Amino acid sequence: LKLSFTLDQESGMPQGCYIYQYRDSNKLVEEFMLLANMAVAHQIYRSFPNQALLRRHPPPQSKLLKDLMEFCNQVGLNIDFSSAGTLHKSLNETFGADKYSEARKEVLTNMFSRPMQMALYFCTGVLEDETLFRHYALNVPFYTHFTSPIRRYADIIVHRLLSASLGSSSPIKMEKEAIQRQADHSNDRKMASKRVQELSADLFFSIFVRECGPLESEAMVMGVLNEAFDVLVLKFGVQKRIYCNALPLLGFHFRKVGRKPELTLLWEPEKPEQESVPQVITIFTLVEVVLRSDGVPLKYSALLKRQSSEK
């Protein structure tokens, strides 16, 4: 989920936020861009098999993927892990069309992202085994970045290779080792850029919580640890960890049923004459949370709203 902000025209500070809606028009443009990138990858590799700069995506880490398969089997999710395409299809078909289907899909997508590896630029002359060229997520043998709106140096090399392959310019005079060094540099920059983008979104949302909070929302559990659990905050699309020691609990108990983690919270009663209320936290559990500023600059926390003793 991509979070977008509305800013105050005078201060530049966030005064509102919303989850960006991915429309059919976006999907159509993306589809044409992917086709263009694949066509260019075939063209430059065919013309310059030792200099082509492509982008590969290794398959998921097998141990983590196996654990996830076992978890899905235990909770009764019929997911086809045989390829990226069947995995995507399963995600779209598993959860139906009720009001929480998108949230469950987002939670499971986040779980599936953990075994995934990063996509990488590489020079075909250095990585000689064609079976390693494959892009797992797109399920295609050759892929590159030709349509990127940001002119990274890697993309410039791709454009020059394409131009030379069409006879519009002379071949580039770079050895395969030099191209690979540029590929490695682009991989490092790409990873750093992704991290900065994530930190920027977290920074803006922290300011939004400080200025407009506390904020209440439904949330869905997406990960369970022995003393904490992670939630997807449905109203804002952010992920946050909730710690048991920050809640008014008499105690809590963690256990695993096979691969399925489960955390039982025992709430303090609101009145002396009432009994304590247990609450079971597991993957896909719906809860109510409050987001509030911590009093520390640019920090905010999520707290679980207590379960009423009357329930």
pLDDT at residue number 84: 83
pLDDT at residue number 52: 96
Q: 54 pLDDT band (50/70/90 cuts)?
A: very high
Q: Are both 204 and 220 inside the same structural domain?
A: no
Q: Given its phi and psi angles, is residue 130 left (phi above 0), alpha (psi -120 to 50 degrees) or beta?
A: alpha
- Composition of the chain by helix, strand, coil, percent to 5: 40, 25, 35
The DSSP secondary-structure symbol of 9 reads T
- Does residue 53 lie within any of the structural domains? yes
**pTM of whole model > 0.85?**
no
For the cut 50, the answer to whether the pLDDT of residue 9 exceeds it is yes
- Does residue 71 lie within any of the structural domains? no
Q: 6 pLDDT band (50/70/90 cuts)?
A: confident
Domain boundary among 166, 192, 208: 208
Question: Which of the pair, 82 or 140, is modelled with greater confidence?
Answer: 140
Q: 212 pLDDT band (50/70/90 cuts)?
A: confident
Q: Are both 220 and 204 inside the same structural domain?
A: no
pLDDT mean over 43-57: 96
- Does residue 280 lie within any of the structural domains? yes
Q: Where residue 275 sits, what CATH number does that domain have?
A: 2.40.50.140
Q: Are both 44 and 154 inside the same structural domain?
A: yes
Q: Are both 225 and 122 inside the same structural domain?
A: no
For the cut 50, the answer to whether the pLDDT of residue 311 exceeds it is no
pLDDT per position as a tens digit, 172-188: 889 999 999 999 999 99
- Does residue 140 lie within any of the structural domains? yes
Q: Are both 132 and 49 inside the same structural domain?
A: yes
Q: Are both 51 and 132 inside the same structural domain?
A: yes
* Full residue range of the structural domain in which residue 24 is found: 3-59+117-208
Cβ atoms < 10 Å from Cβ of 193: 12
Number of domains in the chain: 2
